[in-house]
Chain A
């Protein structure tokens, strides 16, 4: 059974919040709030957390992994490389001198951390992403967009809710 997309735009955040609450409360079959709704905004609204409910973020785990691996790689790569020079002392220092290695390990720790974090971000945020079927440039300006996905039967109900809350514009996926 095919799904259709609806995008409603709201001028301010309070309206959007009401809409979301209503969508949550009213039972509409063919529409599941948690899976079928996406809120789009021009800035990051801390409140979104509140009314969409906690959603987990996994980026930190990438960071942890990256940093540790970077550090370890750094230390062993460097010490191992120095171990090749066992016939060539330098300045009377030990062949594997720890202080310099720690400095470099530290740098590698950060390098690994940053790189893998960014990688993690792209993965978790699903970027680069294919553009969603309905989008309005206003979202990136000042309006709040609510993109819902539902069965045909739910469409009218949703539209009604949107317009009740003075949706500035309701886009509908072209029917087949």
Chain B
């Protein structure tokens, strides 16, 4: 009686539990839908299955490349929820929404279940052996140069196997393609700091000046940066860190900034140099290089008021160390490299290098180090396809048909290859173009090792292990597939490895010593490795180079206004949908975009002032036209964007990818021009110019935000104070 509230819940629990049990029926989840599976009574269950008790397994999150370690809750042989693995330095037991949705990637009803061979315009189911034979046969007829292999970022043993496979027929065309990779920043960092991916210590900085780096949302390693950010906000002895975000379209990070500075798209570099100039601490050639960038000029170019520039400079002077970040907004232009370098230069001038920017350790096994995805690869691939260089095309963990700029006509070019093999989880746009579709295990069913690109402390290898049995009998892990394919070519080399698991185990045990298991016997070492989910290593120290050279630094002044296409198109990266490969995970579709709270759709953000000029109001269906093409979507008036720019989120507008993604919204890639960064050849995603026009249709925007338009009325709901009104030192 004392807590009958709970008693009732107990009852409910039982209900829920048995209800679930009925729906799930036993442990062997092979072929749920055709009801062939047998219900295994719990008394016969594997000894780790204790009815009603959750068991936790460590593994790695495969939703993005940040390399968070996860801790999966498994009950009655089913994975229920993914928590963060507290042992990981990257996410310390934390998880982002995207990572949480990993289970919906795994349980997704639209997964590919059988190997399919194109027959006319529909696929016919074939056996794996048949599929392997087919590949072998096709490969035998072409030589290595005529084979292209497209993949997303790969690392660890999978990368090794893939490398071995490609070299087994002398193919050098491995295109590592990630639609949203910080390619330009890597290059710029290499030039400025001597390393591609240094370690950023946001938590150590007193001021963070970010040029469009959405490190809380989608940039490099968001979950890790978020934790640093929390520390940075708490500050040391009450000295709270200050975040200044400079960008043309407000990102999640921008929304959390103390000062959000909007500037004309593409002028980030100029502002950076202007700030150096305003600081006045630079000497020698740097001083010379920035001499021209005085307040008046910079202000004219960027549209940032002179006073603002001074304030920023003053604050940077006042509080040290600080940290300056160059993000995707800065790099997305034809002169992206210059932008990035100019911004990095600011770090040098402020003397942050070595304090808030440190060299990260490198993984001692270079062959396992991540093959970094970029967009330059896409260009080469596309040109090759267009020229008909490639007869056979493999595609894995990338969806170029969806993410390639419309101007590239990738879909058409892809058709020129006469045999296209796609390893897929779902029928995405690329899989639909394939001749042979091979179904993959989900990340929660597969083995693997991953090496994150952004190392937090020392180096680490993440272990990926299955959290439950396969849902679909006929899917395979990528590793197993590669192994099988390798066996076709070098049977005797791989004959000892019955499957990828065996290979992985052997490979790990081989380097037991180097992996910190010197005096452990194989089984103990292996089990501990699996238990931890992470192998932490010293890593090889790398050094930051000294002084960057500013000779090459040349920033275009005021970009001439395009009369026909007056607006800049900013394809924004949604925190949960990213490049669109996750759009079929309903939780992500239904979790509102933080800034607009719009769900299940695309929208175009326009500044209210601009909208008034164009007589556009919320919910108007507008047509956005570029040189390349045009798309239609709903308008949303958004104050956090430069009036000369409009922004459309990436990730929607799928023509495939299953019931939760197909037919929602529009895909901004379709109208993207093929403009590339002059230095790195990376795709300049922010360069596309567009015009916008009303179609006359109007819809009610589906969003969580209310008619009050995200304003607090009457009552105090979300309180705010300025730093001089609070004393954080007393806080817990």
Contact = CB atoms under 8 A, between A and B. Distances in A.
B707 interface: no
Interface in A121-136: none
Contacts of B2: 87
Contacts of A87: 1-5
Contacts of B1: 86-87
- By secondary structure, the A interface counts as loop
Nearest to B1: A87
Contacts, number: 8
A64 B537 CA distance: 91
Interface in A76-124: 86-88
Contacts of A86: 1
Contacts of B4: 87-88
A87 B4 CA distance: 7
Interface residues of B, number: 5
Contacts of B3: 87
Nearest to B4: A87
A150 B2 CA distance: 75
A87 B5 CA distance: 9
Interface in A18-75: none
Nearest to A86: B1
B2 to A, nearest CB: 5
B529 to A, nearest CB: 50
A53 to B, nearest CB: 64
B3 to A, nearest CB: 6
Nearest to A87: B2
A88 B3 CA distance: 8
B51 to A, nearest CB: 30
B69 to A, nearest CB: 43
A87 B3 CA distance: 6
A67 to B, nearest CB: 35
Contacts of A88: 4-5
Contacts of B5: 87-88
A8 to B, nearest CB: 73
A86 B1 CA distance: 9
A103 to B, nearest CB: 26
A90 to B, nearest CB: 11
Interface string B1-17: 11111000000000000
A141 B5 CA distance: 66
Interface string B624-655: 00000000000000000000000000000000
A87 B2 CA distance: 5
A86 B4 CA distance: 10
A88 B1 CA distance: 9
A54 B5 CA distance: 64
Interface in B1-37: 1-5
A88 B8 CA distance: 12
Interface in B673-730: none
Nearest to A85: B4
A130 to B, nearest CB: 56
A88 B6 CA distance: 11
Nearest to B6: A87
B403 to A, nearest CB: 54
Nearest to B7: A87
A86 B2 CA distance: 8
A124 B3 CA distance: 53
B717 to A, nearest CB: 22
B1 to A, nearest CB: 6
A86 B3 CA distance: 10
B10 to A, nearest CB: 15
A23 B2 CA distance: 78
Interface string B540-581: 000000000000000000000000000000000000000000
A154 B55 CA distance: 105
A87 B8 CA distance: 13
A92 to B, nearest CB: 16
B202 to A, nearest CB: 44
A87 B1 CA distance: 7
A154 B2 CA distance: 81
Nearest to B3: A87
A86 B5 CA distance: 12
Nearest to B5: A88
B264 to A, nearest CB: 56
A136 to B, nearest CB: 68
B181 to A, nearest CB: 55
A157 B1 CA distance: 81
B64 to A, nearest CB: 46
A87 B7 CA distance: 12
Interface string A137-176: 0000000000000000000000000000000000000000
B6 to A, nearest CB: 10
A50 B154 CA distance: 113
Nearest to B2: A87
8 contacts: A86-B1, A87-B1, A87-B2, A87-B3, A87-B4, A87-B5, A88-B4, A88-B5
Interface of B: 1-5
Cβ-closest 6 pairs across A and B = A87-B2, A87-B1, A87-B4, A87-B3, A88-B5, A88-B4
Given A86-B1, A87-B1, 6 more contacts: A87-B2, A87-B3, A87-B4, A87-B5, A88-B4, A88-B5
